[in-house]
Every structure is written in structure tokens, then in C-alpha cells.
């Protein structure tokens, strides 16, 4: 059990947790957003982030501070909390990204962590190697080894109460990400950023992001707080949380504002293309798009940054509420409709349904079937596993219709797409209380047929009859041949 992190509520792979940050004497509720503060550019002041936006934690770059004489001296003299005027927790990035872009490092892991400690960081980051996607396996392995060596050094640096993060690298090789996750988990480091995913997100490769996170999560323990490093667009938070990410950092709110770009949960819009604001934050209700466009540059940038951040925090709250209500997957489905590449991300998430099923609560509010992808949700996977443990009589009718009056069968179970068969006594239990559209689809029927097949497979000696409402031939092909079929619509 990691002392700094406690999971409170779960839904799919998503969780509401508490990250205790002892050096700041602050408890951060996750999923949490860490606004990125560039100490040279005060787009929105850290004090305002805390007071107006409720930010409990932010992230700034110790590499930038170290490289600027004035900032370095102030940070060492005053400490980051006073220098930035921020009452919450402060995480520092080491500048791995900058170092990987601009050349070699001349400082050691000890020096880098000690500097972050001296300036008053609450969560520090060692310098890892952010290996980009699609490099050769040999490069990914070699760089991962260097990262792991540095994490082992970091473990031994005396950093007092300061938490230290352990980045998980491994490029786009799932087995390396998993190995990296397991190695990081075995250190006594505290927070686990999944690193070098920014190039994937810049290319809209949300499917690969999901595979990379899923692999890292398989290596990390269930109680490890996971930071999706560089993920700041609210459109993809629900997807990332459902996969099990707890922390996000956003530079996007400020960077996009600089380019007159307006964030929404369905994507980014150019301010010049907007006729109506789809948002009810103070900026969007106080200004029309024309009024916002007419503001002087610096004012417009700061107002846009504030809107961008309001949208971002609102999405985090919406996700937490969805976890509490047990409908995070429905929110992910909605967000998946914003862009075809988000749909790829969601479909890839469902490839990991068995992994999500392990943390998904057994009972929740109500399962809404809202797209054919719903047929692959963790609840369906779990029901099919559960079928293996149910006892089956010698002769059994599985029917989409009502129970038969005759005693032709020892028992009759209901069949509901997408779950498949279940004893009538389970009708009132989650997820079999699901709300499913009357106009069902092939994916739901196929999943139900797979449920029937599973039941037959584990009960080879039972006589099983399936009475269905006109299932198409290609769906019925999934049902084993020794099942007797009755088409209820043929009568």
C-alpha cells in the first residue's frame, strides 16, 4: 500500500483518490488537473488558479528556473510557494523534455533532485529519457535502462518529505511499458508519470495512447497514482481516466489561448470561427465572440486562457461525478463521438475490457447501452465470466420471450442482449437491469450469442435450447451446433 495515495471510488479503470502531499500539507483529490505555470509568463496568476479555479496542485519547470539567474536566486531564497504565491501543492518537472530536445545533461540525478528539494518542490521529477514513439526496439530498451538506473539512484537520494515521481517509458512497445511500470512500482518512489505520450496525442493517436497506458498500468500496482504527462486537452480526459490515469497537466489552456484557440470538450475551435459560445463560464457569458475578438491582445489571451481552464476543470468535475454515479463509460462514449480518432481510442479501451473489469464495481446505478461499442464493456465481460460459475440443470431453455407454462424444461433463463443468458432470479441485479434500446444492434446480439456459447462450453452435458427473436444467421453461427434453436418471430 502506497501511503501517499488512497483510492476512494471506482468506475471501470477510473477512480477518485486522495493524493497526500506531506511537504505541502495538502491532500489533492484525484483525478486532478495540474495547470502548467511557466515562471516567466504569468498568463493567469497561481493565486488566481487557487482562488478562482480551485486548483489544488500545479506544475512548474525546475529546468527553466535553474537556467535563469534571477528566478533561481529567488526560488532558492523565497521557496516556490512564496515566489509563485500558491497555497496548494507544487510539482516540478525536471526538464527531461527540454534536455532531450536540446542536448546532453551535465548534472547528476542527485543534483537535480536536490535542487528541486531546495527550491521547495512538493513532488519532484528525476531526469528520465522520454523515448519517442516508433523508435527501434533496441533504442527503446537502451533508453529505458538509463531511465531505470536514474530511478534507482533517485530512490537513494535523501529528499525528506518531498514526493518523487518515477516516469514510465518504453516508447510504443507495450511489453517495455509494462516492464517499466513493474520496475517503477518496485521502487519506493511515489507518483508514476506515463511519459513521452505527447507526440502520440499531437498526432491524434489516442488508440496508441490507450495501449501505452494500459501496458504501464499492468506493471504498476492498483494503488499507484498515475500521471498522464503532457495530456491537457479536456476532450480526452474521460478516456484517460477510464484507463486509470489520475493526474493531468495542462499547458494547453495557455498555449492555445496565445493562438486564439478556444477549448471545448468536443475539440478545439479557432476563435475567429465562433459565432456563439457553447459555454457558460464568466468569460463566455460576459462577452460575445465579437467582443472577445475586439479585446487587446494580452487581455484576449488571458480571457481565453481563463475560459480554456474553466472548461478543463469543469470536465474533471464532470468525470468525478460520473465515477460517483457509476456512469463514466457512458461519458467516455459521448466524448468518443467528438472525433473519429477519439472513437479509435474508445474502441482500443474496450480491447482492454478484461483489465478494466478487475477494478470495475460489481454494482452501479444503471447500465445504459448507448452505442454498439457498449456490447464490449467490462460489465459484459464480467457477466460472461460469471456464466462459468452458475449451475445449470439437465435441460434448460434460454429465451428472449416469457417463461414457458409447460414443464418441458427443468428451468428457463432469460436472454438479454448484450449480456446473453441468466437465471430469472438475477433479473434485478446489476448490470442486468440495463437500459437497452428496443431496436437492438448486431453487436449486442453477437455478444448475447457469445454468452450462450460460453454457457454451453462450460456445461457440455446439458440440453440447451435457445428461443430468440429472429436473430440473423451470422449471429446464430456463434451459437454451438448442439443448441436447439427456436425462432420466436416465426410462429
Question: Which residues contact Zn ion (rule: CB under 5 A)?
Answer: 279, 281, 283-284, 307
In sequence order, the β-bridge partners of residue 484 are 465
Residue 288 has φ and ψ, to the nearest 5°, of: -85, 165
The residue behind cell 536536490 is 114
Q: What is the CA radius of gyration of the chain?
A: 26
Minimum CB distance to Zn ion smaller for 117 or for 310: 310
Minimum CB distance to Zn ion smaller for 284 or for 336: 284
Torsional class of 54: left (φ above 0), alpha (ψ -120 to 50), beta (otherwise): left
Q: Nearest distance from residue 262's CB to Zn ion, in Å?
A: 8
Minimum CB distance to Zn ion smaller for 307 or for 454: 307
Q: Nearest distance from residue 338's CB to Zn ion, in Å?
A: 17
The residue behind cell 456490447 is 375
Nearest to 33 by CA among 83, 89, 87, 97: 89
For the chain, the straight-line distance linking the first and the last C-alpha, in angstroms and rounded, comes to: 60
Minimum CB distance to Zn ion smaller for 284 or for 387: 284
Instruction: Give the span between the Cα atoms of 265 and 310, in whole angstroms.
Output: 11
Q: Nearest distance from residue 306's CB to Zn ion, in Å?
A: 8
Instruction: Give the span between the Cα atoms of 19 and 4, in whole angstroms.
Output: 6
CA 415 to chain centre: 32
Q: Nearest distance from residue 10's CB to Zn ion, in Å?
A: 31
Minimum CB distance to Zn ion smaller for 274 or for 488: 274
Minimum CB distance to Zn ion smaller for 294 or for 458: 294
Minimum CB distance to Zn ion smaller for 283 or for 328: 283
Q: Nearest distance from residue 314's CB to Zn ion, in Å?
A: 9
The DSSP line for 341-393 is HHHHHHHHHHHTHHHHHTTS-S--S--B--SGGGGGSHHHHHHHHHHTTS---
Which candidate in 93, 207, 208, 211 is catalytic?
93
**Residue 115 is placed in which grid cell?**
535542487
CA 402 to chain centre: 41
Instruction: Give the span between the Cα atoms of 425 and 445, in whole angstroms.
Output: 22
Q: Nearest distance from residue 293's CB to Zn ion, in Å?
A: 14
The DSSP line for 309-335 is HHHHHHHHHHHHHHHHHT-HHHHHHHH
Q: Are 238 and 331 in contact (CB under 8 A)?
A: yes
Q: Which sign does the torsion angle of CA 376, 378, 381, 387 carry?
A: negative
**Residue 237 is placed in which grid cell?**
480526459
Neighbours of 453 (CB within 10 A): 16
Exposure string for 384-416, b = 16+ CB within 10 A, e = fewer: beebeeeebeeebbbbbbeeeeeeebeebbbbb
441 annotated active-site = no
Q: Nearest distance from residue 22's CB to Zn ion, in Å?
A: 35
Instruction: Give the span between the Cα atoms of 293 and 291, in whole angstroms.
Output: 5
Minimum CB distance to Zn ion smaller for 262 or for 419: 262
Across the chain, which distance is largest between two alpha carbons, in Å?
Answer: 89
Instruction: Give the span between the Cα atoms of 245 and 217, in whole angstroms.
Output: 9
Q: Are 482 and 414 in contact (CB under 8 A)?
A: no
Q: Nearest distance from residue 279's CB to Zn ion, in Å?
A: 3
**Residue 207 is placed in which grid cell?**
488508440
Minimum CB distance to Zn ion smaller for 158 or for 290: 290
Instruction: Give the span between the Cα atoms of 330 and 136, in whole angstroms.
Output: 37
Known catalytic residues are 93
Amino acid at each position: 500500500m502506497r501511503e501517499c495515495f488512497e483510492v476512494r471510488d471506482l468506475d471501470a479503470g477510473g477512480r477518485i483518490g486522495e493524493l497526500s502531499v506531506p511537504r505541502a500539507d495538502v491532500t489533492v483529490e484525484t483525478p486532478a488537473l495540474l495547470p502548467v505555470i511557466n515562471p516567466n509568463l504569468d498568463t493567469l496568476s497561481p493565486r488566481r488558479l487557487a482562488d478562482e479555479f480551485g486548483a489544488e496542485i500545479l506544475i512548474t519547470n525546475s529546468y527553466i528556473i535553474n537556467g535563469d539567474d534571477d528566478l533561481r536566486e529567488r526560488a532558492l531564497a523565497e521557496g516556490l510557494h512564496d515566489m509563485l504565491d500558491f497555497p496548494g501543492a507544487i510539482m516540478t518537472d525536471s526538464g527531461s523534455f527540454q534536455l532531450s530536445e536540446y542536448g546532453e545533461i551535465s548534472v547528476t540525478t542527485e543534483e537535480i533532485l536536490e535542487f528541486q528539494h531546495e527550491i521547495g518542490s512538493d513532488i519532484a521529477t528525476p531526469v528520465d529519457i522520454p523515448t519517442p514513439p516508433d523508435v527501434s526496439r533496441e533504442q527503446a530498451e537502451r533508453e529505458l535502462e538509463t531511465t531505470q538506473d536514474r530511478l534507482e539512484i533517485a530512490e537513494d537520494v535523501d529528499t525528506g518529505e518531498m514526493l518523487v515521481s518515477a516516469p514510465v517509458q518504453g516508447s510504443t512497445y507495450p511489453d517495455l511499458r509494462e516492464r517499466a511500470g513493474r520496475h517503477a512500482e518496485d521502487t519506493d518512489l511515489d507518483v508514476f508519470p506515463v511519459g513521452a505520450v505527447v507526440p502520440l496525442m499531437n498526432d491524434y493517436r489516442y488508440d496508441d495512447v490507450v495501449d501505452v497506458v494500459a501496458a504501464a498500468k499492468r506493471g504498476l500496482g492498483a494503488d499507484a497514482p498515475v500521471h498522464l504527462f503532457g495530456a491537457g486537452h479536456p476532450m480526452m480526459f474521460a478516456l484517460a481516466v477510464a484507463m486509470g490515469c489520475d493526474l493531468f497537466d495542462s499547458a494547453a489552456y495557455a498555449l492555445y489561448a496565445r493562438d486564439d484557440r478556444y477549448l471545448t470538450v468536443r475539440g478545439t475551435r479557432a476563435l475567429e470561427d465562433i459565432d456563439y459560445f457553447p459555454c457558460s463560464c464568466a468569460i463566455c457569458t460576459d462577452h460575445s465572440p465579437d467582443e472577445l475578438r475586439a479585446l487587446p491582445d494580452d487581455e484576449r489571451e488571458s480571457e481565453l486562457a481563463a475560459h480554456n481552464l474553466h472548461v478543463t476543470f469543469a470536465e474533471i468535475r464532470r468525470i468525478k461525478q460520473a465515477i460517483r454515479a457509476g456512469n463514466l463509460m457512458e461519458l467516455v462514449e459521448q466524448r468518443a463521438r467528438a472525433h473519429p480518432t477519439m472513437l479509435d481510442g474508445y474502441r482500443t479501451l474496450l480491447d482492454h475490457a478484461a483489465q478494466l473489469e478487475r477494478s470495475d464495481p460489481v454494482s452501479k446505478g444503471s447500465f445504459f447501452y448507448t452505442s454498439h461499442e457498449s456490447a464490449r464493456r467490462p460489465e459484459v465481460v464480467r457477466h460472461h465470466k460469471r456464466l462459468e460459475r452458475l449451475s445449470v440443470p439437465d435441460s434448460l431453455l434460454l429465451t428472449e420471450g416469457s417463461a414457458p407454462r409447460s414443464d418441458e424444461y427443468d428451468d428457463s433463463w432469460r436472454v438479454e442482449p448484450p449480456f446473453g443468458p441468466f437465471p430469472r432470479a438475477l433479473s434485478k441485479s446489476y448490470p442486468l437491469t440495463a437500459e437497452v434500446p428496443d431496436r437492438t444492434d448486431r453487436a449486442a446480439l453477437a455478444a448475447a450469442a457469445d454468452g450462450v456459447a460460453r454457457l454451453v462450453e462450460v456445461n457440455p452435458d446439458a440440453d440447451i435450447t435457445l428461443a430468440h427473436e429472429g436473430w440473423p444467421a451470422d449471429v446464430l453461427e456463434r451459437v454451438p451446433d448442439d443448441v436447439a434453436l427456436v425462432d420466436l418471430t416465426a410462429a
